[in-house]
């Protein structure tokens, strides 16, 4: 049984209290910083995913060019690999630095 001085951790009151304080964080004085950091977090999650998808496509294109014995396409794909590697490494470093 609860006494008058005890605060319940379940029910509607704690939930309302949580949302009231959370809404202050998202719409308060520094909300622009909060939204900018969330946008940066989304970018830091989506960009590495896109680079990895593009690396998978590069792998397909490279080996298809090898199978066709297309020298020009092999060289084109060879020049693309360092760019994708640099992007992947740069994004990984950014994620580590940001964490």
Q: Average pLDDT by consecutive 10-residue portion of the chain (99 residues)?
A: 61 84 82 87 91 96 96 95 94 83
Predicted local confidence at residue 99, as pLDDT: 63
Note down the domain range covering 31: 12-98
For residue 11 the two structure tokens come to 């029910």
CB 48 within 8 A of CB 88: yes
CA pair distance 39, 33, nearest whole angstrom: 10
* pLDDT at residue number 5: 56
Task: Tell me whether residue 75 is in a domain.
Answer: yes
Give the pLDDT score at 17.
Answer: 85
Question: Do the domain assignments include residue 30?
Answer: yes
In a domain, 85, yes or no: yes
∠ CA 38-41-43, rounded to 5°: 115
């Amino acid at each position: 049984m609860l006494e008058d001085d005890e605060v319940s951790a379940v029910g509607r009151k704690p939930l309302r209290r949580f949302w009231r304080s959370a809404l202050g964080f998202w719409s308060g004085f520094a909300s622009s910083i909060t939204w900018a950091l969330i946008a940066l977090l989304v970018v830091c999650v989506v960009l590495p995913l896109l680079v990895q998808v593009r690396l998978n496509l590069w792998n397909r294109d490279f080996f298809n060019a090898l199978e066709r014995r297309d020298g020009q396409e092999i060289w084109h794909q060879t020049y693309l690999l360092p760019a994708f590697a640099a992007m992947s490494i740069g994004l990984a470093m950014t994620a580590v630095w940001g964490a």
